[in-house]
Structure 1
């Protein structure tokens, strides 16, 4: 069955993802895990009521999943930037988030700038 499905139809080829989309999804995927664990920290430290801490964390996690799905379009990139601002702003609740937010924002910035430059040069 090399290259064909069981019904005799040719296998569907996968869409070629840009480097910006690939690296962005990796950064947001790892950040998603940290935000989930961070929501548990905010809950455990009682920095916010339980419903707000866990509900807010869940909302940011869902927002990240949506952003990962939309990274092929400019709205996904913009949503990624908004997420970075939210994570940095969480530092007002738990100061360690300033450090976490700075690290992920730096990684996001580097990935978006470097990958966009590489994508431009490989399309020519």
Structure 2
């Protein structure tokens, strides 16, 4: 009769995914408020002011879509697209280059650090599993 193996705990949530959802969540708030501000101030003169509202809504929808799709690589690519779209709003309102640049820097940092932390977590779990298997087999 073999000993029953203890049920394995579920894998921890990806740090990269957590960081990405945090960045996109803050970005969603900024994009929403910026769209309302640009609409209210009629700040994009060459085009009708409604474009600021519609553009803000479209970028908000893309951001929410990216957040929802973070379980797959498509969500991260969509996140990069959202960063590029936010940077491009600086063509209409130059101050948005600063906001977009800050979010691009934050997104890039979170993607690099998140991937690094996920690799370390996977290595730790694999080492822990090997030690547990060795202990169960009686290997010291």
Q: Same fold (TM over 0.5)?
A: yes
For residue 36 of structure 1, report the CA deviation from its aligned partner: 0.6
Unaligned segments of structure 1, at least 5 residues:
1-12
User: Where does 1:18-97 land on structure 2 (aligned, <5 Å)?
Assistant: 18-46=14-42, 47=44, 48-97=47-96
Determine the C-alpha separation between the residues in 2 that align with 1:15 and 1:118.
14
For residue 88 of structure 1, report the CA deviation from its aligned partner: 0.6
Q: TM-score, normalised by structure 1?
A: 0.84
| Contact 1:42–1:93 (8 Å) recurs in 2 | no
Q: Paired residues, what number?
A: 112
> Which deviates the most, 13-22 or 88-97?
13-22
Q: Deviations over 1:27-83 (max 9, x none)?
A: 000010000111112212321423321111111101101100111211000000000
Q: What residue is the counterpart of 1:111 in the other structure?
A: 110
Q: What residue is the counterpart of 2:126 in the other structure?
A: none
Unaligned segments of structure 2, at least 5 residues:
1-8, 124-140
| Contact 1:40–1:54 (8 Å) recurs in 2 | yes
Aligned-residue Cα RMSD (Å) equals 1.7
The structure with the largest alpha-carbon Rg is: 2
For residue 15 of structure 1, report the CA deviation from its aligned partner: 7.4
